[in-house]
Each structure stands twice: as C-alpha cells, then as structure tokens.
C-alpha cells in the first residue's frame, strides 16, 4: 500500500543478525473478548543496508485475571545490539506484569516493571561482555530501547511508557494520545529520547477505557512520525482500514505502507474492545 | 517528534464521549527528561513565503539553479495538520576569501559536486535532506537556497572574491535564513529536524571580535527555536580558538592537522560532510542525536586531549 508519494522501491537485503531477526512479524487473534492484531516490520532503510529490525513486540495472556498484556519497543539505533534490547524488554516487561497479576494486584505497579526490564538489559550486557561489574551506562551503549506496555482487562486499559513510543485511542477518525502525544507541528524534530535501561525511572503511566467502537493502538515512532497525530492521510487510511480487524497478514501489509522519507521500523499493536 | 513526557501527561486526551479521565502519572521521572518542549508560540501553519535572504551585509544573488526551482520551493502547499514528509536541513557555510584561491577553493567545488552526485544516487536519503550553501568573504551570499540534492541540481562555483573575512555576515545570514527555510518547509507539510551547519574557514575574521561574537551568540541563543547544530572546521591559517567558539558543542570543532595540505584537508572535510549526511538521514527517525559525524582524516578534534 502506498500513502502519498511512495518511497523508492528497493531490493531488501537479508539481515545478518544474531540471534535471528525476521524482517516482519505478524500476530493476532481474540482473547477475553478482545480482538488483537500485532505487527512489526523492518524499515526500508534497514532493508536497504541489511540491518536488523530494531523494533519488537510481545503479546501475553494472563488467564486468571483475563488480562491481555502487550508491549512494543524501539531499539535506539545508536546502540549496537538494540534489536536484542527491544526483544528482551518486551518479554521481560510483559512477564513482570504477569507476575504482579499472579500476586493478585488490582492495578499494575509500573515502576518495578520497567526496572525489571532494564535489569534484563544490564544482565544481558554483563553476560555478553563478560564483565559482571558492568552497569546501566555500559548496557545503555549496546542495548538501549524505548518500551511501551499495556494491560487490558475488559474495557480497562493501563498503559505506561519510557521513551517516545506512543499509545492512542482511535475512535472513528480521531486519535487521542493516551501515553505520548501526537506529533507537534510547531517545533523541530529530534533532540533526544528516553530509553531503558538508563531512564527506567522516567516512566509515565495512564489509564483509559476501551469502549466499544474504539481501538487501542500501541506503536513505535516509525509509525507515529508519519501518523503525525492522525490528522493527515496516514491517519485517515489507518482509521479506514482498521474500522474492522483486518486479516493478520493484511494488517502487517497495511503497516508496511510506502511513504516517501519514512523508512524507520514500524510496530503496531491494535486492540479492539469488547462488544457491548 | 520525541515525545515530551511530562507535558503529555498533563495534557491528556481531549474530552469527548467515552473519553478517559486525564491520565495520572504513577511514576515520577527521575530528573529532567532529555528534551523539553520548544518555548514560544506555535510556528505559523499557514504557508509562509519568505523574501529572498537579505540580511545586513548579505548580498542577494540569483539562484544558480536557473531554470530549475530548488526542491524546497516546489510542490503544492498542504493544509494544516497534514504532514507529507520529514526533512533534515543542512547548510554548508564556506570561506570564499582570497586566501582560499587556487587548490583550496577547487577542492571545495569538487567536494560539493561529489556530495551532490553521491546523495542523488542514493535511493533514500535524497528526499530526506535539504542542502543550502552560504559563502562569505567581506560579505555573505546565499549561493544555493535550501534544495533537494538531485543530479540535475546546478551547483554554484565558488571563487575568491572581495577583501576581508566577515564571520558576522555569514552568521547573520544563517540567523535570517534558517527560520525562513524552516517555516517554508513546515508550510509545505514537512516535519523538520534540527538544522545542521558545516562551517569551513581558512583564516581569521577581519572584523572586531565583538561583532562576530554577538552574531554567534544570537545564533546559539537557546531561545532561538531553530538554532542549528554547528560543526566548525578550520584549515590553513584558521585559529583553533575561534573555530572552537563557533562549534555548537566542543566535539563539533575541528582543526586541520599542522603541516597538512589545505586542499587535501578540504577534500576530507567534504567526504565527511557526505558521510554525516548519510548517517544522519539514516537515523533521522530516532532523534537521539540529530547530527551524526566522525572526525575527518587530517583534522584534530578540538575537545580531544592534547598529546
């Protein structure tokens, strides 16, 4: 799918990453009355250079509480193994939320969730470099990643983030920021991003209600940038195509739209609320 | 984009049917976030067409790209809120004083041609970068308005001119040009990344230090929303202290190694400018640093420890 001026057509190179990083992942299904679609696609630039996808996502179900736990992460490109950082962060964070639910917590205590995800990055860095004394700063140099996590139980949504991966509620054609804010059109882009493990304490959280007819969107800035708050043609296209949950593969293809100058990795988890 | 976490938590989603309560942060940020929202009122979303740059001491010059409008100025203007792309403005600010005559200025011209050709060949970065050229001697001239580097872009040929070396006029030209360019890009529907300036000089300013220092302070003023990253390069007789002062960060100041060939150093500088353009465009979406740059061969980074 092309939205606006297309990006250049290129032949994608396989990514020589260790561990293996597929170009695209797509997932989806229903659970606890919720319908979920999830995809993470490698950006055009990394397809051109042969770099690995540095975004990742994770879905986890907590059966006892009927909770869907979802996370997306965007590895910081300046960090040499941030693809692994993103993969670890989403898995450890969703597991940390599940452990809290096991303990019967009524609401998520986000501080420990981000701390545990950050700690997983430090541990991996220590293992990889063989330095048991390596700390957060060293791990930030190799595994830095943003992290956005949500716990959805019925229509109750708890969501928290470190960094610039935003969450939105989409109602009709309107995108409301839940965590993060729409692209501002009045300032310059860039200037820094909070990331794990360094900024584990900089998490911000929010709650919202996933009413019938609304869709929770968790995404990385590879989508948030062209979405730009949802007022333009990317927002209109997504809103139209997500009015009903698409087929899983179609969802990934939708996320992989071509648009000139937007060639970063993109990840999106969409959750449709319970029917009335 | 780079979300401003505290403000977004305060703002919350707009009100409406079924809209959640304004979110409450459950954790407190440790220290200040890495970024703060830009101060001041919103930039005009209405398209703004600035007049040609005419800063004091700046001689306007017709665009050398006669017959082909630079990319920035082309295209339909888009309605407010509709974003069509993202761009990184980059400016080369080069010394055209008489001391650059001969091989040095030839190396600059060849470097610019190579830069254009390499970027034009690249399938992805050409659309993401806009490049402008300002030169200075006793006055500054905008020699290339901010443009897309396509293979048919006609580049100016730099040649030594005038008497004197006025850094103040070059800095003033940037101060005037950058906000106008950013406003125009935004008016055309672009998300604009923080501009970068590559400043190259082979000598000392021939004006009172207070004059260029005042212009530099204006350009670096934190309240100047479009203040650029400035990478400064000294070759020939340039003063390391002056070059270091120009750079927007200590790690962005570079001096040619003593005894090296000026023309050779300029060629290395130009190659590094190209590499920076490619690396910065690649990481444009991430924003952890807007500008990517590695020290060119034949230069010393001024904040490096002395040996």
Read off the pLDDT of residues A22-72 as tens digits, 9 standing for 90 and up. Answer: 999 999 999 999 999 999 999 999 999 999 999 999 999 999 999 999 999
List chain A pLDDT tens, one digit each, 276 residues.
999 999 999 999 999 888 899 999 999 999 999 999 999 999 999 999 999 999 999 999 999 999 999 999 999 888 889 999 999 999 999 999 999 999 998 899 999 999 999 999 999 999 999 999 999 999 999 999 999 999 999 999 999 999 889 999 999 999 999 987 544 444 787 666 789 999 998 888 999 999 988 999 999 999 999 999 898 999 999 999 999 999 999 999 999 999 999 999 999 999 999 875
- In this predicted structure, what is the pLDDT of residue B293? 75
Cα separations in angstroms, B54 against B51, B65, B124, B173, B180: 8, 19, 33, 8, 11
Among chain B residues, CA nearest to A190: B287
Collect all residues with Cβ–Cβ distance below 8 Å to A202 and sequence separation of at least 6.
A162, A194, B5, B27, B29, B30, B31, B33
Interface of B with A in 229-258 (CB under 8 A): none
Question: From the DSSP assignment, how many helices (H) and strands (E) are in chain A?
Answer: 7, 11
Contact state of B288 with A78 under an 8 Å Cβ cutoff: yes
> In chain B, which residue ranges form alpha helices assigned H by DSSP?
5-11, 103-121, 167-187, 209-220, 240-246, 262-282
pLDDT computed for residue A154 by the predictor: 93
CATH code of the region B86-301: 3.40.50.410
What Rg do the C-alpha atoms of chain A give, in angstroms?
18
Partners of A258 in the β-ladder:
A2
DSSP 8-state code for residue A15: P
Q: Give B61→chain A minimum CA distance, Å.
A: 28
Tokens of A64: 């006892």
For chain A, say whether B54 makes contact (Cβ under 8 Å). Answer: no
Is B291 within 8 Å of A227 (Cβ atoms)?
no
CA dist A167 and A230 (Å) reads 12
Closest partner residue to A190 among B2, B41, B127, by Cβ? Answer: B2
pLDDT digits (tens, 9 = 90+) for A227-247: 998 989 999 999 999 999 999
pTM of the model as a whole = 0.83
Pairing of strands B129-136, B85-95: parallel
Chain-chain contact of A189 with B194 (C-beta, under 8 angstroms) = yes
Interface check for A115 against chain B (CB to CB < 8 A): the answer is no
Contact at CB, A188 and B124, closer than 8 angstroms: no
pLDDT at B24: 37
- In this complex, how many residue pairs, one in chain A and one in chain B, have their CB atoms less than 8 Å apart? 221
Looking at residue A37, its pLDDT comes to 98
Query: Distance between CA A68 and CA B297 in Å, rounded?
Result: 54
CA pair distance A36, B86, nearest whole angstrom: 30
Query: What DSSP string runs through B142-185?
Result: EEEEEE---TTPPPPPP---SSS--HHHHHHHHHHHHHHHHHHH
Structure tokens at B270: 């130009």
In chain B, where the domains are located = 86-301
CB nearest to A189's CB, from B24, B37, B191 = B191
A257 to chain B, any CB pair closer than 8 A? The answer is no
The domain ranges of chain A are 24-272
Beta bridge partners of A152: A68, A157
Strands A214-219 and A266-272: antiparallel
> What is residue B129's predicted lDDT score, i.e. its pLDDT?
93
> To which CATH superfamily is domain A24-272 assigned?
PPM-type phosphatase domain (3.60.40.10)
ipTM: 0.89
C-alpha distances out from residue B164 to A224, B93, B142, Å: 49, 16, 17
With CA atoms as reference, report the closest residue to B11 among B25, B31, B30, B27: B25
Of A194, A224, A261, the CB nearest to B5: A194
The Cα–Cα gap between B282 and A54 comes to 13
Longest CA–CA separation in chain A, Å: 54
Best residue in A166, A182, A189 to probe B by mutation, most B CBs within 10 Å? A189
Nearest 5 degrees, angle CA B117-CA B119-CA B124? 140
Q: Is the dihedral of CA A81, A84, A88, A90 positive or negative?
A: positive
Q: Name the residue among B84, B124, B287 with its Cβ closest to that of A189.
A: B287
The token pair at A272 is: 């449709």
User: Which pLDDT value is given to residue B278?
Assistant: 82
B-interface mutation test, from A9, A156, A175, A187, most B Cβ less than 10 A away: A187
Which residue of A190, A221, A228 is in closest CB contact with B193?
A190
- Name the residue of chain A whose CA is nearest to B182's CA: A188
Could you list the pLDDT tens digit for every one of the 307 residues in chain B? 332 223 333 222 332 333 333 333 333 332 333 333 333 333 333 333 333 333 444 444 433 333 332 333 333 344 445 899 999 999 999 999 999 999 999 999 999 999 999 999 999 999 999 999 999 999 999 999 999 999 999 999 999 998 889 999 999 999 999 999 999 999 999 999 989 999 999 989 999 999 999 999 999 998 999 999 999 999 999 999 999 999 998 889 999 988 889 999 999 999 989 888 888 877 665 544 456 777 888 888 887 654 4
Burial class from Cβ neighbours inside 10 Å (0-12, 13-18, 19+) for residue A92 reads buried
């Amino acid at each position: 799918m092309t939205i606006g001026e297309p990006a250049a057509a290129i032949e994608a190179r396989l990514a020589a990453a260790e561990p293996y990083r597929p170009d695209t992942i797509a997932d989806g299904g229903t659970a606890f009355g919720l319908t979920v679609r999830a995809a993470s696609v490698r950006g055009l630039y990394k397809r051109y250079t042969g770099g690995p996808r540095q975004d990742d996502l994770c879905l986890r179900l907590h059966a006892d509480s009927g909770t869907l736990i979802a996370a997306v992460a965007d590895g910081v490109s300046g960090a040499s193994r941030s693809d692994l950082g993103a993969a670890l962060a989403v898995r450890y964070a969703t597991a940390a939320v599940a452990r809290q639910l096991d303990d019967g917590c009524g609401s998520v205590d986000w501080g420990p969730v981000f701390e545990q995800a950050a700690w997983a990055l430090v541990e991996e860095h220590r293992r990889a470099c063989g330095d048991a004394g390596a700390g957060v700063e060293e791990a930030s140099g190799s595994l830095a990643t943003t992290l956005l996590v949500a716990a959805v139980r019925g229509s109750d949504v708890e969501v928290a983030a470190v960094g610039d991966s935003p969450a939105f509620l989409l109602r009709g054609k309107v995108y409301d920021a839940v965590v993060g804010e729409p692209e501002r059109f009045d300032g310059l882009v860039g200037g820094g991003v909070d990331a794990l493990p360094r900024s584990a304490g900089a998490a911000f959280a929010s709650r919202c209600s996933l009413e019938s007819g609304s869709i929770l969107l968790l995404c990385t800035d590879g989508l948030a940038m062209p979405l730009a708050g949802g007022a333009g043609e990317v927002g209109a296209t997504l809103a139209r195509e997500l009015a009903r949950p698409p087929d899983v593969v179609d969802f990934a293809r939708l996320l992989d739209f071509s648009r000139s100058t937007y060639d970063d990795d993109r990840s999106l988890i969409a959750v449709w609320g319970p029917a009335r | 984009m780079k979300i401003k976490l505290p403000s977004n938590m305060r703002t919350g989603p707009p009100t409406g049917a079924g809209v959640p309560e304004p979110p409450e942060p459950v954790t407190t940020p440790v220290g200040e976030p890495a970024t703060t929202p830009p101060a001041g009122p919103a930039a005009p979303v209405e398209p703004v067409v600035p007049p040609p740059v005419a800063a004091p001491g700046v001689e306007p010059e017709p665009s050398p790209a006669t017959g082909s409008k630079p990319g920035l100025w082309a295209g339909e203007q888009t309605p407010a809120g509709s974003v069509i792309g993202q761009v990184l403005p980059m400016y080369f600010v080069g010394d055209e004083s008489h001391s650059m005559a001969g091989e040095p200025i030839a190396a600059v011209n060849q470097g610019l041609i190579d830069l254009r050709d390499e970027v034009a060949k690249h399938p992805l970065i050409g659309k993401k970068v806009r490049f402008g050229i300002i030169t200075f001697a006793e006055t500054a001239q905008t020699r290339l308005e901010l443009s897309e580097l396509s293979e048919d872009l006609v580049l100016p040929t730099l040649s030594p001119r005038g008497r004197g070396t006025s850094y103040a006029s070059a800095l003033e030209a940037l101060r005037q040009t950058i906000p106008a360019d950013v406003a125009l890009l935004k008016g055309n529907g672009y998300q604009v990344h923080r501009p970068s300036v590559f400043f190259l000089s082979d000598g000392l300013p021939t004006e009172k230090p207070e004059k260029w220092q005042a212009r530099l302070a204006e350009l670096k003023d934190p309240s100047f929303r479009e203040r650029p990253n400035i990478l400064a390069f000294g070759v020939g007789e340039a003063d390391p202290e002056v070059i270091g002062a120009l750079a927007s960060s200590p790690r962005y100041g570079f001096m040619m190694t003593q005894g090296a060939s000026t023309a050779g150093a300029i060629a290395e500088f130009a190659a590094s400018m190209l590499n920076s353009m490619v690396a910065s465009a690649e990481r444009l979406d991430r924003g952890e640093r807007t500008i990517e740059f590695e020290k060119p061969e034949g230069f010393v980074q001024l904040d490096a420890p002395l040996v």
